[in-house]
């Protein structure tokens, strides 16, 4: 019996096939409940005041970065919103970041640059800068975004109109990620697809689930909900601050919603594949809870279900090739379902095994480097791993306590009827 004709391989291929048949179907049923927000949607006549808050640190290290920063800054000011304020907190940049911003903001009283201070030891620099930006404004709505994000002029009106109409407290818009070259585009598509499976954005509007999605590119918060959640201080030691802040706002009763918005929000992802692998070092190990065993299990599971089945395309047995071809067709279908909303073509699924191997490499690289240093390095600063783990545990305990309180209120409400 050949290796390809072995019973273990047959079982493994059937398991992978079942997974890849269920996955596109699940996405079709679940992702269709996540709306796509477009220009002109939900535009109200008199939207409430909005403050766009940006943390910036060394964003203009070269001519390309400086041009990207200026382009983004001008898009913030181009938002079609009658009561707009833009606050950028410079997190002690050592390059031309401030000069570029001041040039973009020249003669526009709606925007200003605030000079940040060195964060306390238990604060991450970006989060500390964001907190300073929120404190510098009194607008009832706050939009947290990053320095490389560009907006369509209709983005604020669409998101705020939706939030006001549905009485939401938090809105996350999934942007259009721009990447050059098929390899980087395929890697980004695989990352986006698998990330969607992990965070389940369709559960954002379900009050029974603690899940929601936080996006650094577009996190819109009602100020009162942000304050109930403890503000940025609640996530001061979280490298995954965007996701953690969204979950904190939902945990205290805030209503959350997620939408795809490829026509409203855009940002350039990493310039090269190597830069993407390096950039994911900060977040990949965070995603498995700083647990090496989970990182290894996740890596093995990804290889077994997303990489190994494709080897059977070269099998001598017709049945093995047939199953592998079915898996390949399901992968393309999954990319098509996801890509219609996220804005990437289905053919990138042909590179899925290679992209998944690179994601596994990024996860293991992050795990080894963070454990080796005993800290997470980010924007020229280093944060001890023990402190980050403690912050993550505390957040999980607070979330569980909030869930228990919600269940107790629900039981009390039912008993009182």
* pLDDT tens per residue, range 176-192: 988 888 899 999 999 98
Distances from the Cα of 228 to the Cαs of 36, 163, 234, 250, 254, in angstroms?
A: 28, 18, 10, 10, 9
- For residue 206, the domain's CATH number is 3.90.550.10
Listed residues 216, 242, 270: the one ending a domain? 270
- The answer to whether residue 105 sits within a structural domain is yes
Same domain membership, residue 368 and residue 235 = no
> Number of structural domains, the chain?
2
- The answer to whether residue 8 sits within a structural domain is yes
Same domain membership, residue 121 and residue 212 = yes
Contact (CB, 8 A) for 125 and 381: yes
pLDDT at residue 338, as a whole number: 84
Contact (CB, 8 A) for 159 and 218: yes
- The answer to whether residue 388 sits within a structural domain is no
Same domain membership, residue 69 and residue 140 = yes
Contact (CB, 8 A) for 28 and 142: no
Q: What band does 9 get if pLDDT is binned at 50, 70 and 90?
A: low
pLDDT at residue 4, as a whole number: 43
pLDDT at residue 41, as a whole number: 82
Check pLDDT > 70 for residue 406.
no
Same domain membership, residue 215 and residue 311 = no
pLDDT at residue 3, as a whole number: 44
SS (H, E, C) the chain: CCHHHCHHHHHHHHHHHHHHHHHHHHHHHHHCCCCECCCCCCCCCCCCCEEEEEEECCCCCCHHHHHHHHHHHHHHHCCCCCCEEEEEEECCCCCCHHHHHHHHCCCCCCEEEEECCCCCCCCCHHHHHHHHHHHCCCCCEEEEEECCEEECCCHHHHHHHHHHHHCCCEEEEECEEECCCHHHHHHHHHHHHHHHHHHCHHHCCCCCCCCCCCCCCCEEEEHHHHHHCCHHHHHCCCCCHHHHHHHHHHHCCCCEEEEECCCCEEEECCCCHHHHHHHCHHHHCHHHCCCHHHHHHHHHHHHHHHCHHHHHHHCCCHHHHHHHHHHHHHHHHHHHHHHHHHCCCHHHHHHHHHHHHHHHHHHHHHHHHHHHHCEEEECCEEEEHHHHHHHHHHHHHHHHHHHHHHHHHHHHHHHCC
pLDDT at residue 412, as a whole number: 67
- The answer to whether residue 403 sits within a structural domain is no
Instruction: Report the pLDDT averaged over residues 61-65.
Output: 85
- The CA distance from 51 to 125, in Å, is 20
Same domain membership, residue 81 and residue 26 = no
Distances from the Cα of 119 to the Cαs of 91, 125, 271, in angstroms?
A: 9, 6, 29
Same domain membership, residue 194 and residue 242 = yes
The per-residue pLDDT for range 294-304, each reduced to its tens digit, is 999 999 989 98
Same domain membership, residue 234 and residue 208 = yes
Check pLDDT > 80 for residue 27.
no
Domain hosting 238: range is 50-270
Same domain membership, residue 326 and residue 223 = no
Q: What band does 91 get if pLDDT is binned at 50, 70 and 90?
A: very high
Residues ≥6 apart with Cβ < 8 Å to 77: 84, 86, 104, 105, 108, 110, 111
Listed residues 224, 255, 270: the one ending a domain? 270
Listed residues 270, 303, 322: the one ending a domain? 270
Check pLDDT > 60 for residue 109.
yes
Same domain membership, residue 327 and residue 236 = no
> Which range scores top for mean pLDDT: 47-61, 303-317, 365-379?
47-61
pLDDT at residue 413, as a whole number: 59
- The CA distance from 394 to 236, in Å, is 12
- The answer to whether residue 386 sits within a structural domain is no
Strand partners, 382: 377
Residue 193 burial by Cβ neighbours in a 10 Å radius (0-12, 13-18, 19+): buried
Same domain membership, residue 149 and residue 297 = no
Buried b (16+ CB within 10 A) or exposed e, 365-396: bbbebbeeeebbebeeeebebeebeebbeebe
Instruction: Report the pLDDT averaged over residues 61-86.
Output: 92
Same domain membership, residue 163 and residue 99 = yes
Q: What is the mean pLDDT of the chain?
A: 88
Global confidence as pTM: 0.87
Strand partners, 260: 36, 174
- The answer to whether residue 408 sits within a structural domain is no
Contact (CB, 8 A) for 317 and 2: yes
> Which range scores top for mean pLDDT: 148-152, 328-332, 400-404?
148-152
Q: What band does 403 get if pLDDT is binned at 50, 70 and 90?
A: low
Same domain membership, residue 327 and residue 245 = no
- The answer to whether residue 114 sits within a structural domain is yes
- The answer to whether residue 365 sits within a structural domain is yes
Find where tokens 């190597």 sit: 274
Compare 124 and 415 and report the one with higher pLDDT.
124
């Amino acid at each position: 019996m050949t290796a390809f004709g072995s019973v273990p391989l047959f079982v493994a291929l059937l398991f992978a096939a079942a997974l890849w048949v269920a996955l596109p179907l699940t996405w079709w049923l679940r992702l269709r409940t996540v709306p796509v927000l477009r220009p002109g949607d939900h535009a109200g006549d008199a939207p409430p005041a909005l403050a766009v808050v940006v943390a910036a640190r060394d964003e203009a290290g070269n001519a390309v970065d400086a041009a990207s920063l200026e382009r983004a800054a001008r898009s913030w000011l181009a938002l079609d919103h009658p009561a707009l304020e833009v606050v950028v907190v410079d997190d002690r940049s050592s390059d031309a970041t401030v000069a570029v911003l001041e040039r973009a903001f020249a003669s526009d009283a709606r925007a200003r640059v605030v000079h940040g201070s060195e964060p306390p030891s238990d604060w991450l620099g970006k989060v500390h800068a964001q907190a300073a930006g929120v404190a510098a404004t009194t607008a009832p709505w706050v939009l947290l975004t990053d320095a490389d994000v560009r907006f369509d002029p209709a983005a604020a009106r669409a998101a705020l109109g939706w939030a006001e109409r549905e009485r939401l407290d938090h809105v996350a818009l999934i942007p259009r990620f721009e990447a050059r070259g098929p390899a980087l585009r395929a890697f980004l598509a695989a990352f986006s697809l698998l990330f969607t499976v992990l965070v389940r954005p369709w559960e954002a509007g379900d009050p029974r689930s603690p899940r929601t999605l936080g996006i650094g590119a577009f996190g819109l918060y009602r100020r009162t909900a942000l304050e109930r959640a403890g503000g940025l201080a609640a996530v001061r030691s979280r490298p995954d601050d965007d996701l953690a802040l969204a979950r904190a706002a939902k945990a205290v009763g805030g209503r959350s919603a997620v939408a795809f918005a490829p026509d409203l929000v855009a940002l350039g992802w990493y310039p090269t594949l190597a830069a993407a692998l390096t950039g994911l070092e900060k977040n990949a190990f965070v995603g498995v809870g700083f647990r090496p065993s989970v990182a290894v299990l996740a890596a093995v599971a990804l290889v077994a279900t997303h990489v190994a089945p494709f080897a059977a395309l070269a099998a001598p047995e017709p049945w093995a090739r047939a199953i592998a071809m079915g898996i390949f067709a399901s992968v393309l279908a999954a990319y098509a379902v996801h890509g219609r909303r996220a804005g990437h073509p289905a053919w990138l699924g042909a590179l899925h095994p290679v992209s998944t191997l690179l994601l596994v490499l990024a996860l293991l690289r992050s795990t080894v480097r963070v454990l080796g240093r005993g800290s997470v390095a980010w924007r020229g600063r280093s944060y001890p791993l023990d402190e980050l783990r403690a912050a993550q545990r505390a957040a999980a305990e607070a979330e569980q306590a909030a869930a228990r309180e919600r269940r107790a209120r629900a039981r009390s409400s039912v008993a009182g009827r």
